[in-house]
């Protein structure tokens, strides 16, 4: 089963479409400076050294107190790492670097308007600002260790500052992607039980100063409906001294950070030593059912894993200028803009806006000006930049040593443009496969050790033991060309601990499928089910084919089809809705929406627009459908199940297969004529 081909195409058939690519060897100048060049790392992280091998990652951090138990499995499959250890994430990303690096850039923020100056925060300046915000959160907003705080912020320096301030107090941040709607934010506030929301008046995107604050009013109304009261809304301003949102500040509830911070100038807050297994943050992600899942990540295990993989897979050194183009509102930004690079005392660049603003040369100008040497982005962005400016990178004199691709499979043709044109043939590429749930990378080549293979993520990273199971739980043979469900045999420190408030869903979604014994406390009985289809070739490299559940990967972001369908059903004329992925040149996949109307309602353009609008307000612009088709009826099985597979085949112009067993086979041709003309 796989979204690329639909349920009734066999996995073996899918696999044969994939051609083996030639290998590319890491450039010598990269190897000469790499953090890890010795194959022996796989020996150190072998299963016979598991779990103690992960001490190597934990030792990259500074602990108040060492742990007594590396991996506690007694509450399987809720794994606890480094139990007995005490640590603070904010201290590790900021304070401890001061003696050596206080005057070095920690964060460089690049505003979207090109004439607005960059903001450079040295480690010292970051330290001062994190302390002041932590003091405000503690003394003004009453935030304590263990409290959840929702951050609905765009790509501004205040976002990592606020995250680190929460971490300093041991409070659990829940960052909601800035592009998400007020409603989506409100649902996450309610689910996490946040009493404090931190937002911003506005931000730049596509040359427009967008209003953002208005979303907080919707968010609070939605949260309240779900029984969660928010008592303080703290509002950053994009431009000091001017408030750019039309939404009024509500007296006694909304406060400008700028105003309140005046009381905390120069205040220092001792970092709170937290148990290693205390949650550091929640990150919501989409799943099979409508309700987003709050992935709960730990402090010690997560930070150790983010730091370890940043050092070895991202090859980050303190002297590197590292730019990851993701948004901090997704897991990539948490692990590989904020926590990993800052734990290693690197300089991390964050960019506010769209990559092609105001033209396709923008990223390369930024890279040249800041001397970025390590670059990280997603296939959708690479496709977009290639389309808009295939020759642009060559016009600038930046020099990358290392580049990352993440979020979805990358077509070999796009990979080669990334390698030859963006990387100028001298940068190594890592194709990193992982998920919100996993905290850090699962599959990737080690950049100085193994060759790259376009379109293929590579083997498990050190300490990660992937395996492909078929539906019955038998291992799919390496090199067989057959696809199956990729799983991880062993726990690892970056893995999420549970779904916030829903352990049952955590167990059933990720561990039940291949669990050998529900009562076992031996980790060997609990393989992690990732929800992706994959093949493994002779050389041990994994090729990820896509999701096996009802999730669409749009431009590297996960959208649950159920969430889109339920937003469509909010339009009163709509009787039924089905959402399927359709291939898109730039974004990889985008949603196509099929709706049927209530009896007596005439189809109209207005209804189609209302469906698109409802999806946008319920989730955000990223979920905007490619098409909304109003169909006379849905293709259904005799038991009344909507055949999404048939709709997906129509949307993608693929062979529909045998539909004679449907309850209403005649509808298929009618829909096909409507869609394909
Ligand atoms: C899903 C996870 C992990 C950060 C970004 C997305 C897909 C992720 C790759 C890759 C092929 C990939 C998988 C995965 N995916 N990286 N290198 N090659 N597919 O995080 O939103 O949790 O999505 O993204 O389908 O399950 P996410």
Judged by average pLDDT, the poorest of 10-19, 136-145, 445-454 is 10-19
- pLDDT greater than 80 at residue 11: no
pTM of the entire predicted model: 0.93
**Probe target for ligand 1 pocket from 292, 529, 542, 544, with the most ligand atoms within 8 Å of CB:** 544
Q: Residue with the nearest Cα to atom 5 of ligand 1?
A: 407
Residue (of 340, 301, 344) closest to 54 by Cα position: 301
Beta bridge partners of 551: 560
Q: How far is the CA of 224 from the centre of ligand 1 (A)?
A: 33
CA 99 to chain centre: 33
Backbone angles phi, psi at 177, to 5 degrees: -45, 130
pLDDT in tens, 557-587: 888 888 899 899 999 999 999 999 999 999 9
Quick check: 456 and 410 in contact, CB under 8 A? no
Q: Supply the pLDDT for residue 19.
A: 67
Q: Supply the pLDDT for residue 546.
A: 85
Taking the C-alpha atoms of residue 341 and residue 308, their distance in angstroms, rounded to an integer, is: 10
Q: What is the DSSP letter of 440?
A: S
Higher pLDDT among residues 502 and 545, named by residue? 502
Backbone angles phi, psi at 156, to 5 degrees: -125, 155
Provide the sign of the torsion angle of the four alpha carbons 79, 81, 86, 90, taken in this order: negative
pLDDT in tens, 240-264: 999 999 999 999 999 999 999 999 9
- pLDDT greater than 50 at residue 226: yes
Q: Supply the pLDDT for residue 16.
A: 39
Quick check: 73 and 522 in contact, CB under 8 A? yes
pLDDT in tens, 91-125: 999 999 999 999 999 999 999 999 999 999 999 99
Count of other CB atoms within 10 angstroms of residue 68: 10
**Probe target for ligand 1 pocket from 282, 325, 376, 406, with the most ligand atoms within 8 Å of CB:** 406
pLDDT in tens, 330-362: 999 999 999 999 999 999 999 999 999 999 999
Q: Is the CB of 445 under 6 A from ligand 1?
A: no
Q: Supply the pLDDT for residue 172.
A: 99
pLDDT in tens, 358-382: 999 999 999 999 999 999 999 999 9
CA atoms within 13 A of residue 286's CA, in its CB half-sphere? 22
Averaged pLDDT, 80-85: 98
* Mean pLDDT for all residues in the chain: 94
Q: How far is the CA of 285 from the centre of ligand 1 (A)?
A: 12
Q: Supply the pLDDT for residue 4.
A: 33
Q: Residue with the nearest Cα to atom 23 of ligand 1?
A: 435
pLDDT in tens, 520-562: 999 999 999 999 999 999 999 999 988 888 888 888 788 888 8
Q: Which helix (H) or strand (E) holds 590?
A: strand 588-597
Placement of tokens 């009985």 in the chain: 525
Q: Supply the pLDDT for residue 260.
A: 98
What are the Cα distances from residue 361, in Å, to 131, 356, 371, 428?
37, 7, 15, 21
Q: Supply the pLDDT for residue 559.
A: 87
- pLDDT greater than 90 at residue 2: no
Q: Supply the pLDDT for residue 638.
A: 82
Quick check: 235 and 201 in contact, CB under 8 A? yes
Q: Supply the pLDDT for residue 646.
A: 93
């Amino acid at each position: 089963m796989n979204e690329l081909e639909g349920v009734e195409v066999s996995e073996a058939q899918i696999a044969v479409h994939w051609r083996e690519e030639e290998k590319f060897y890491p450039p010598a100048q990269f190897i000469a400076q790499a953090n890890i060049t010795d194959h022996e790392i796989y020996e150190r992280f072998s299963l016979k050294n598991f779990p103690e091998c992960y001490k190597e990652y934990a030792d990259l951090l500074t602990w108040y107190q060492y742990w007594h138990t590396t991996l506690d499995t007694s509450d399987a499959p809720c794994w606890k790492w480094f139990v007995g250890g005490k640590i603070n994430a904010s201290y590790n990303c900021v304070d401890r670097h001061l003696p050596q690096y206080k005057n070095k850039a920690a964060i460089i923020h690049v505003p979207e308007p090109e004439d607005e100056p960059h903001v450079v925060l040295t480690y010292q300046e970051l330290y001062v600002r994190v302390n002041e915000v932590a003091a405000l959160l503690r003394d003004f907003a009453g935030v304590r260790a263990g409290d959840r705080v929702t951050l609905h912020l765009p790509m501004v320096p205040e976002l990592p500052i606020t995250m680190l301030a929460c971490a300093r107090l041991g409070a659990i941040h829940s960052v909601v992607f800035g592009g998400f709607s007020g409603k989506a934010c409100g649902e996450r506030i309610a689910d996490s039980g946040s009493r404090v929301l931190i937002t911003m008046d506005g931000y730049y995107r596509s040359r427009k100063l967008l209003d953002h604050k208005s979303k907080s009013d919707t968010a609070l109304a939605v949260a309240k409906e779900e029984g969660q009261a928010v008592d303080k809304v703290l509002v950053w301003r994009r431009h000091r001294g001017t408030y750019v949102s039309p939404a009024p500040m509500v007296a006694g509830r909304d406060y400008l950070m700028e105003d309140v911070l005046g009381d905390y100038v120069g205040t220092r807050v001792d970092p709170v030593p937290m148990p290693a297994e205390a949650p550091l943050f929640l990150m919501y992600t989409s799943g099979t059912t409508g309700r987003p899942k709050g992935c709960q990540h730990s402090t010690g295990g997560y930070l150790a894993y983010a730091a370890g993989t940043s050092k070895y897979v991202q090859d980050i050194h303190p002297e590197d200028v590292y730019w990851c183009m993701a948004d901090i509102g997704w897991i990539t930004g948490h692990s590989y803009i904020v926590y990993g690079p800052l734990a290693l005392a690197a300089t991390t660049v964050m960019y506010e806006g769209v990559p092609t603003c105001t033209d396709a040369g923008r990223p390369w100008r930024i890279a040249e000006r800041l001397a970025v040497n390590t670059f990280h982005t997603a296939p959708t962005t690479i496709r977009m930049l290639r389309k808009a400016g295939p020759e642009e990178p060559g016009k600038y004199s930046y020099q990358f040593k290392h580049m990352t691709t993440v979020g979805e499979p990358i077509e070999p043709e796009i990979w080669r443009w990334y390698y030859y044109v963006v990387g100028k043939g001298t940068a190594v590429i890592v194709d990193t496969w992982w998920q919100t749930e996993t905290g850090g990378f699962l599959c990737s080549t080690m950049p100085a050790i193994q060759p790259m293979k376009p379109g293929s993520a590579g083997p498990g990273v050190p300490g990660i033991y992937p395996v492909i199971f078929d539906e019955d739980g038998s291992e799919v043979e390496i090199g067989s060309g057959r696809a199956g469900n990729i799983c991880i045999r062993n726990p690892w420190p970056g893995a999420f601990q549970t779904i916030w408030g829903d352990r049952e869903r955590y167990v059933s979604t990720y561990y039940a499928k291949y669990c050998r014994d529900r009562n076992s406390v031996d980790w060997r009985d609990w393989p992690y089910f990732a929800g992706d289809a994959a093949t493994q070739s002779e050389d041990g490299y994994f090729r990820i084919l896509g999701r096996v559940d009802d999730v669409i990967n749009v431009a590297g972001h996960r959208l649950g089809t159920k969430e889109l369908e339920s937003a469509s059903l909010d339009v009163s004329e709509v009787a039924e809705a089905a959402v399927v992925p359709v291939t898109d040149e730039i974004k990889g996949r985008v949603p196509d929406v099929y709706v049927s109307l209530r009896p007596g309602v005439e189809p109209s353009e207005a209804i189609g627009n209302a469906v698109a609008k409802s999806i946008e307000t319920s989730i955000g612009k990223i979920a905007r459908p490619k098409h909304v088709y109003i169909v006379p009826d849905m293709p259904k099985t005799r038991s009344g199940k909507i055949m999404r597979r048939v709709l997906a085949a129509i949307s993608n112009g693929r062979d529909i297969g045998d539909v004679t067993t449907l309850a209403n086979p005649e509808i298929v041709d009618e829909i096909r004529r409507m869609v394909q003309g």
